[in-house]
Chain A
Amino acid sequence: MSSENASGQRDARPTGLQRTWRGFRSHRLALAGLVVVSVVTIVGLVTYIDDTLLKNTLITSIYYSPFEPRFVPLQGPSVAHPFGTDTLGRDVLARTIYGAKVSIQVALTAVLVAATIGSLLGVLAGYAGGYTETVLMRAVDVMLGFPALVLAIGLVAALGFSLTNVIIALGIVYVPQFARIARSTALSVSNEEYVDAAKAMGYSTPHIVFREVLPNCLSPLLVQASLLMAFAIIAEASLSFLGLGVQPPTPTWGQMVSDGSGYLTSAPWISLFPGSAIFVTVLGFNLIGDGLRDALDPRENAERRF
């Protein structure tokens, strides 16, 4: 464990980041989750580059497989098409790979939007208290009153079906989750003496909120973010499944599962592979979330057993 001790006494006690990474590393399942999520993200990035810079040459090379350069619908998995082809003869592997782009894009940006807005509101409510808190948190409670997916469907229906609108809708839907956690953490952090010390110093409120309170609220928010990524992927797939998300011809996993739902007995591979992709990615994010939670929990840090 003490491999980093070479550089003298000063480094003997690791910083927070090093400790977190050590804790995370010792969590094998979380590492597996990290690998899965990294693979999906890299695949998403590659398709993005392929889309914008390479004019889809990479993906078409899979579509027009050298072994089978024609479109034949409902083919089972074979060497030419490892995941088979769908009702229009399109390669399921190529479309599954392409679907990663939308999933990751939506989940990442939606959670980022929600985390930014939600954390700020929550920290503000927790730190300020009083009427600010009452007003903000009751608004959040109202939002929580709606089932998340129903609210997302309503928002997308109102805004129109497009990638940006799906992101906006999910971003709004997840604000309360962050706001609640940020508020409760900020509430306890605000009672710490260093916040009083900052007040005694006469620091401005933005200084106290952004420099003293917010950095100490990040751990639980980070865990929440990784868990909500999983939910966002499911929500995006659900919207696509219902035809309310990103519209064809852009392939998404939810859409593909929906496409294949009529052929589950005759050609299960059409739904099976994009469905598995959703499953594995969601699992990956959940495992990361668990790992982060354990690694960031200060009580677990020193625990080593004989």
Chain B
Amino acid sequence: MPESLLSVEDLTTEFATAQGSIRAIENVSFDLRSGERLGIVGESGSGKSVTARSIMRLLDDNGRIADGSVELDGRQLTDLSERELTDVRGSEIAMIFQDPMSSLTPVLTVGKQITETILEHRDVTKAKARKEAIELLERVRIGDPESIIDDYPHQLSGGQRQRVLIAIAISCDPSVLIADEPTTALDVTIEAQILDLLEDLVREREMSLVQITHDLGVIAETCDRVAVMYAGRIVEKGPVSEVFVEPRHPYTGGLLRSTPRIADIEPDLLAGNVPDPGQRPEGCNFAPRCAYATEECHLEDPPLDPVGAREVACIRTESIGTLDPIPDEVRQESSRPGDGDAIVESESVYKEFSSADSLLDRFLPGGDPPVKAVDGVDISLVQGETLGLVGESGSGKTTLGRLLLELTDRTDGEIRFDGRPLADVPDAELRQRIQFVFQDPNSSLNPRQTIGTILRYAIEKHETTADTEARIAELLTEVGLDPETRHEYPHQLSGGQKQRVGVARALAVDPDVIVADEPTSALDVSVQGQLLDLLDEIKRDRSLSMIFISHDLSVIRHIADRVAVMYLGRIVEVGETRSLFKSPQHPYTEALLSAVSSPDPQMDTERIVLEGEIPDPKRPPTGCNFVTRCPEAMPECKHRDPELTAHDGGKVACFLHHDATRSETTGAGDLNDGSASRPEADNQPTTDGGGES
């Protein structure tokens, strides 16, 4: 067995808080061999980031390593002085942080920030350092490194910034690279690029990688071994090919089973929440949520004992044996309520944001063209269905959702609610019948109001006679909260609970339509599943219609009846969920689907990694918006704009299929007939780019 390069033993870190000292991680041990890729996975609050920061000794002022040792290549990192540490950090062990937006200094050029690291650790001239910086940028596959090196961080996109951070991290050839959620802030297609890059770099340079993430799929695709953390402890550790295929710890099993998947499998949810670091239970931390727990489990912390090639922290692992990571229950296709009446319809809706905000800018010539956030969108939401709206950031999906509620004024186009144009719907009726669930539960609840007050206002706004207090209790129960929660302030609740309050508020007015804007993106996997089920259940019970906006395809797969895919302000494909996921028609949809990483390491997926990034919405390409990144782009695509045309039961905006439908007279014919019965809103204007250039 090769010597371990980084060896962490019994690492315990505590934080001083107003409630006294809290142990964020306890007795974390693992070894990292040379060239190995180790994944640390866990939900928020599990202590995975604290582990990384403890290794680097980058804890905040109120944190300290209470116990344990970190050995890097035979050197104790815990004993080093701050000065000695500076030599180790960067040159022997480097870290990539989660948020590429805040990890670069905005006042220095990218080149300065890279050469700074090189000059700090090595004895080279400035000119040489700059040359090396350009080479590094090339190695992280940034286009045109010679000009990017003199750019400031704000001139770069999120993906480019993450590449620069990687370039800085590898600039001094560290032997260990710690990546703390390097792709969480990025879009799926960019995530695929960055993961590819990391994998290649690690292989080329024979680095060891510690990949920290909440995403099981990322681990499955990029790591050799995995350590699963729960509430500050490692609960299971071993080769990915074993842990993810035959999990032993009930938490690992539960986590794998509750992950929403693209495949036709109903996730099997874990009940409950990760306990707060200050309020961890006696005995096994997972025991209160564990289906296999006995009385014994509540007595003592289970040690991490070896079982075969793995280590498992569960006293009952012998009797439990291995678990099945994939739930048996096959997804039930919700019986789609036929082609009912459309309750919300949009017809070639446009929204432009002008960057000219002052009076002077508006009258002066020149300046930036407006951002086309929503660029001629036709969608319809049929009564009783859930329409999934999927797209990357900057695709305009949130703006579209806000336009439907008139939270933002549209530039052009028509939106009909219940068959009437929005202008004819009285404001009070609109506000009562269509509601919004917001993305960030931390900002969607007024911090100065108790939960009761928030709901009371909403209830009293639309029905004055009812018994408000009873209604509040009823609503809170409906969303799975204790009615006593009404006395609490938002900051006293967990993220999942806050989002439930957000749902309760939307339900308070008894709406017919709910627009949910990424309601689960801020939540952990298990909590996310619970909320999705809640939304689905409520939708069914109250026979609501719902527009569910998300960037996460597996979430959309789980909840939507129909899916609309957006790219750069336009809808590129619409179709029934099952058929769209089974056979995506548009190249973009196809790439999106292949970019989703599956937590099953045995699944050998060929990902389509898209080149480049979403173009600037101020200057979209002429012709098809997707032409700059499309692997199938044809000369025709650069000149003409494909319309959203019926194809195979759905609609797709791609010439590939326009031709196909034209030439294929057999086979697809039946399906075309079937969809032809649906009224076709074909008002997409052909904005020919010819005049612009």
Q: Give the chain B neighbours of A19 by CB distance below 8 A.
A: 18
User: In this assembly, does A297 line the interface, its C-beta being within 8 Å of a C-beta of chain B?
Assistant: no
The B442-465 residues at the A interface (CB cut-off 8 A) are 443-449, 457-458, 461-462
| A2 contact set on B, CB distance < 8 A | 18-20
A115 to B5, CA, bound (A): 62
Contact present for B61 and A201 (CB under 8 Å): no
**Chain A residues bordering chain B, tally (CB within 8 A):** 34
Is A197 in contact with B505, judged by CB distance below 8 angstroms? yes
Shortest B463–chain A CB gap in Å is 13
A 210-227 contacts with B by CB, 8 A: 211-212, 215-216
B488 cross-chain contacts in A, Cβ below 8 A? 10
Q: With A302-B17, A302-B62 in contact, is A16–B448 under 8 Å at CB?
A: yes
Q: Of the listed stretches B340-348, B429-437, B473-481, B673-681, name the one at the interface; the rest are far from the partner chain.
A: B429-437
Q: Could you tell me the dominant secondary structure of chain B's interface residues?
A: mixed
- Indicate if A194 sits at the interface (CB-CB under 8 A): yes
Contacts of A212 in B (CB 8 A): 446
In the complex, B407 has a CB within 8 A of chain A: yes
A203 at the interface (CB under 8 A from B): yes
Enumerate chain A residues within 8 angstroms of B16, measured Cβ to Cβ. 304-306
Task: Give Cα A2–Cα B18 distance, bound, in whole angstroms.
Answer: 7
B278 surroundings in chain A (CB, below 8 A): 12
Please tell me if the beta carbons of B444 and A194 are within 8 angstroms of each other in the complex: yes
Q: Is the CB of A304 within 8 A of B443?
A: no
A282 CB to nearest B CB, Å: 31
B407 touches A196 (CB 8 A): yes
Interface positions of A from 271 to 306, Cβ below 8 Å from B:
301-306
- A303 in contact with B435 given A201-B458, A201-B509, A215-B448 (CB within 8 Å): no
A203 vs B359: C-alpha distance in the bound complex, in angstroms? 30
Does A141 make an interface contact (CB < 8 A)? Answer: no
Chain B residues with CB below 8 A from A196, complex form: 402, 407, 436, 438, 444
In the complex, which residues of chain B have a beta carbon less than 8 angstroms from the beta carbon of A10? 488
- The reply to whether the CB of B428 lies closer than 8 angstroms to some CB of chain A is yes
B427 contacts chain A at the CB level, 8 A cutoff: yes
Min Cβ gap B438→A in Å is 4
- Chain B residues in 8 Å Cβ range of A216: 446-448
Establish whether residues A197 and B444, one from each chain, have CB atoms under 8 Å apart when the complex forms. yes
Partner of A302 from the list B18, B402, B430, B444 (CB cut-off 8 Å) is B18
Asked if B444 contacts A1 (CB within 8 A), the reply is no
A207 within 8 A of B: yes
Q: In B509-527, which residues have CB < 8 Å from any A CB?
A: 509
Q: Nearest chain-B residue to A202 (Cβ)?
A: B431
CA distance A95 to B638 in the complex (A): 88
Which residues on A sit within 8 Å (CB–CB) of B443?
192-194
Counting CB contacts under 8 A, is A199 at the interface? yes
In the complex, what's the smallest C-beta–C-beta distance from B54 to chain A, in angstroms? 15
Minimum CB distance partner of B484 in chain A: A10
> A83 to nearest B CB, angstroms?
45
Tell me the chain B residues, 37-94 only, with Cβ under 8 Å from chain A. Answer: 61-62, 64
Contacts of A28 in B (CB 8 A): none
Q: Which residue of A22, A197, A216 has the most chain B CB atoms within 10 A of its CB atom? A: A197
* A304 touching B431 in the complex, CB below 8 Å, given contacts A13-B492, A16-B448, A201-B458: no
* Residues of A with C-beta under 8 A to B432: 202
Contact A193 to B18, CB < 8 A, known contacts A15-B489, A202-B461, A306-B62: no
- In chain B, what residue has the closest Cβ to A216? B448
A305 touches B62 (CB 8 A): yes
Residues of B contacting A303 in the complex (Cβ-Cβ under 8 angstroms): 61-62
In the complex, which residues of chain A have a beta carbon less than 8 angstroms from the beta carbon of B19? Answer: 1-2, 5, 12
Could you show 12 A-B contacts with beta carbons less than 8 Å apart? Answer: A1-B20, A9-B279, A12-B279, A16-B448, A134-B359, A192-B444, A193-B439, A196-B438, A200-B435, A207-B457, A305-B16, A306-B64
A interface with B by C-beta (< 8 Å): 1-2, 5, 9-10, 12-16, 19, 22, 134, 192-194, 196-197, 199-203, 207, 211-212, 215-216, 301-306
